[in-house]
Amino acid sequence: MEIYLYLVIYILLIIGLSVYISRSSSQEDFLIGGRNRGGWTILFSKFASAIGVSTLITYTGYAYKFGWGLFAMSIGSVVGYLLFAFWAAPRIKKLSLQGNFYTQGDLPEFITGNKTTSLITNSITIMVQFFWILLSLAGGAKVITFFGLFSYDIALLVTTSVVLIYVLFSGFKAVILTDIIQAFIIIAFLGILIFGMLDIKDFSSVLGTSANETVQLGSIIGLVLYGGLSVFGLADRYQLCYAAKNVKSLKKGLGLAIIPVLLIAFLLLLIGLYVYNQNPGLDPDTVFVFAMQNLVNQSWIPLLLVLFFAGLMSTADTSIFAVSSHLVYKTKEDQKVKSLRYATVITVVIAYITALFWKSIVDITIVGAALRMTLSIAMIYIINKKNNSGRFIASALGGVIGLLIGLTVFGPKPTIAITVLLGSLLGLIYRSK
């Protein structure tokens, strides 16, 4: 019963905060966080949205399999974060002040003067973010089900219902402010998990552990490309740029966000290596759940599961808002909030129904990760203030074609990042008049 008490307290806290926020929120607060978010708010929102179910499960599995090679695979993320924070974000923010942007597609339309660029960008964005909704919901529900807290269907229903309620009340402002709470929860969650597993003697032993596999060059190249480029294709990054108070706050928030992300990667490395020392014969996809189930005091499981539940919502709410806001980007100004609320309900219902039947975390992760890169080169072209709409459209569509070719030829492997990149770059050759 203890776990249900924790869960109810957390849900009431999040919904109560959202209701309180909504009482003093304007339309701009709901749609884009009021365009006055400070550096620390941006930092924690960016961090929380980046650390989801896939990160916890996948990074722990990589650490178990490749050991310290995990950080060779993370180089691209560091480069991507810093490049976006200090080169792209200031440009995006300054342009957004001129064009009053809400969606990712508003930026290429403003630069090129071509409405088709907005349509293509937002259509691809909706697909990308929808996959990450599925990943958060399906992955979280499967882990919660594994511990017998709820059935898969009930876990899915509880998660989607809570996120739906607080996004409906306060929109993007709620997404950003609840991310602050969820960011601290994620760090506390992993800290408790490691504290329950390791003592000082174990710690030094774990740091000296060598995993049984080395990272292949093709995977390193693919993951470096993915980490470095995918940040340019994600709608929530652009919406954070629009929501920031000023360029200084934006650079501070996005630039420093890499620090807690690397901290989480290190904590997951410790978990992966410790589990490897205990049981070197596991499937890497099951390592994180194995650690929770077998290597901590069982009296802590209720708290850990509630913390896990909170963490998965930090990515689900961001993606749900991104999909909903991009669905209604053509709505008249005075109807945007109402239309966005309807779109949110529709998005959550479709995601819930889809996740009831498509439960494969691995498949969803691979398709979603590859989709993230399809817009990257095209958006870098636009951020660099190049305005040929034909090149932008050809690059975006080239990325999609490269993804399809990569999946056909190589299957679901990190190397498909190379075909997405080639397709996007080849698209830049085309130039419209």
The first and second tokens of residue 195, run together, are: 């504290």
Tokens of 23: 């009482």
pLDDT digits (tens, 9 = 90+) for 256-311: 888 888 888 888 888 888 888 888 888 777 788 788 778 777 777 777 777 777 77
Please name which of 53, 8, 55, 13 lies closest in space to residue 306, comparing C-alpha atoms.
8
pLDDT at 73: 63
User: What is the torsional sign of CA 313, 316, 317, 318?
Assistant: positive
What is the spatial distance between Cα 160 and Cα 351, in angstroms, rounded to a whole number? 9
Q: What contacts 4, CB < 8 A, 6 or more positions away?
A: none
Q: Can you say whether the dihedral through the CA atoms of 7, 11, 16, 18 is positive or negative? A: positive
Residue by residue, what is the 3-state secondary structure of 207-238? HCCCCCCCCCHHHHHHHHHHHHHHHHHCHHHH
Q: Bigger pLDDT: 376 or 309? A: 376
More confident residue, 3 or 28: 28
Q: Nearest-CA neighbor of 276 among 189, 192, 212?
A: 212
| Residue indicated by tokens 């992966």 | 272
Residues linked to residue 244 through DSSP beta bridges, in sequence order:
37
Per-residue tokens: 58:
């996948």
Q: 158-162, 326-330, 334-338, 393-397 — which one is most confidently predicted on average?
A: 393-397
Mean pLDDT score of the chain = 81
- For residue 86, the 8-state DSSP code is I
- E strand or H helix at 268: helix 258-278
Residues 6 or more apart from 104 whose CB is under 8 A from it? 121, 122, 125, 235, 238, 239, 326, 375, 379
Give the model confidence (pLDDT) of 8-48 as tens digits.
888 888 888 888 877 777 788 788 887 888 888 888 888 88
Amino acid 182: pLDDT: 80
Dihedral angle sign, alpha carbons of residues 114, 400, 82, 268: positive
151 in helix, strand or coil? coil
181-195, 234-248, 352-366: range with lowest mean pLDDT: 352-366
Q: How far, in Å, CA of 338 to CA of 274, rounded?
A: 50
Q: What is the pLDDT of residue 59?
A: 81
- Could you say which DSSP state residue 244 is in? B
Q: Are the beta carbons of 292 and 56 closer than 8 angstroms?
A: no
User: What confidence tier does 363 reach under pLDDT thresholds 50, 70, 90?
Assistant: low
The alpha carbon of 389 is separated from its chain's Cα centroid by a whole number of angstroms, namely 28
pLDDT at 333 over 90: no
Per-residue pLDDT band for 87 (boundaries 50, 70, 90) equals very high
Nearest Cα to 189, choosing from 292, 42, 64, 47?
292
Structural domains present in the chain = 2-353 (1.20.1730.10)
- Percentage of the chain modeled with pLDDT above 90: 15
CA-CA distance, 169 to 23, in Å (whole number)? 9
pLDDT digits (tens, 9 = 90+) for 213-226: 666 666 667 667 77
- State how far the Cα of 54 lies from the Cα of 330, in Å rounded to an integer: 32
- Cα 369–chain centre separation: 10
